[in-house]
């Protein structure tokens, strides 16, 4: 179980770093020569506020969306670890740890959804 979780965490971090790096390079290629205007603050585009918007932005060729996808993958990595732990404890038939880990997974998912207890 520890080996599987280690592989999952390592793969998640490597994939998210590679995705973010690819988005950064893509952004540099697209906008590297432009002079930034720091006199006016522009927040992040609204398309970066949802997973669907991020995927749509990537399809439209927005490099910022690829960077955002890498960050979302990084956030999803520990959540996937908890979900894998639930499955591993279920295979081991350890009901106590399944219940505890499900509570943790529920809290993580609820906090991402904006729900507060």
Query: pLDDT, tens digit, for every residue of 48-101?
Result: 888 899 999 999 999 999 999 999 999 999 999 999 999 999 999 999 999 999
Residue 53 forms part of a structural domain: yes
Domain count, the chain: 1
Q: What is the pTM of this model?
A: 0.82
The pLDDT value recorded for residue 117 is 61
The more confidently predicted of residues 68 and 115 is 68
Which of the listed ranges 9-13, 28-32, 49-53 does the model predict with the highest average pLDDT?
A: 9-13
CA angle, corner 115, sides to 96 and 55, nearest 5?
Answer: 100
Please give the Cα distance from 35 to 16 (Å, whole number). Answer: 28
For 25, the domain range is 2-112
Residue 52 forms part of a structural domain: yes
3-state helix, strand, coil split of the chain in percent (to 5) is 75, 0, 25
Residue 54 forms part of a structural domain: yes
The rounded Cα 41 to chain-centroid distance in angstroms is: 26
Residue 117 forms part of a structural domain: no
């Amino acid at each position: 179980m520890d080996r599987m979780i280690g592989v999952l965490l390592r793969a998640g971090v490597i994939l998210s770093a590679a995705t973010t790096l690819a988005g950064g390079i893509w952004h540099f290629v697209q906008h590297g020569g432009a002079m930034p205007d720091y006199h006016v603050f522009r927040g992040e585009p609204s398309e970066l506020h949802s997973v669907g918007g991020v995927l749509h932005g990537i399809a439209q060729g927005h490099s910022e969306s690829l960077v955002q996808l890498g960050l979302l993958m990084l956030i999803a990595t520990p959540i996937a670890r908890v979900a894998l732990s639930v499955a591993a404890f279920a295979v081991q038939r350890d009901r106590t740890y399944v219940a505890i880990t499900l509570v943790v997974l529920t809290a993580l998912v609820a906090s991402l959804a904006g729900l507060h207890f």
